[in-house]
Amino acid sequence: MPNDTINNAIKKASTSNENYEEIVYEGYGPNGVAVIVEAATDNKNRTAADVRHVFDKAGGNLGTTGCVSYMFNKKGVIIIEKDSTDIDEDELMMLALDAGAEDFKSEDEIYEIITEPSEFETVREKLEDSGLEFIEAQVQMVPTTTVSLDEKGIEKMERLLEKLDELDDVSNVYHNWEE
């Protein structure tokens, strides 16, 4: 191979500005489970084909924009493990609500704090300043309704989520499956 060809290839690779585009795919998984897939890609056609293939193999189908997003709300979610804090439940709830949280839930082993996306950073910072550690703290799509599945549906849904997770371009997957 001539040196000019090699040098041109190196020059092109070093000056190329790959533009990654954020894309949201919506569809239905097995048994009508609503699924939102967020991806960042430099090749929309490849990513769309990959996501469509995963949906088809898992017994679901890729839908059009807006077909399931109406079933989700964008919310800030902060999850704290109960064992990780000495603050009692009522005190933590008041701290979160005073910081601007919208909702506070106490479940088996965790506390879940829900915020509006605009209040998320403020609430997170105030809770961090109080010495709390989070299992999870991010803005995400929270389902307004959930779907329960039978054993066969659970297997298909787990396979769908696993295969979507394996795709390099996929950054987040949200669903309304009641796990």
Q: What is the 3-state secondary structure (H, E, C) of 38-104?
A: EEEECCHHHHHHHHHHHHHHCCCEECCCCCCHHHEEEEEEEEEEHHHCCCCHHHHHHHHHHHCCCEE
Q: What pTM was computed for the model?
A: 0.80
pLDDT (tens place) for every residue of the chain, 179 residues total:
556 666 666 665 555 556 788 999 999 998 899 999 999 998 999 999 999 999 999 889 999 989 999 999 999 999 999 988 888 899 999 999 999 999 999 988 999 999 999 999 999 999 999 889 999 999 999 999 999 999 998 999 999 999 999 999 999 999 999 87
Q: Phi, psi at residue 135, to the nearest 5°?
A: -75, -40
Take residue 17 and report the two structure tokens written for it.
Answer: 């500005």
Domains and CATH numbers, the chain: 20-70+144-175 (3.30.70.980), 73-143 (3.30.70.980)
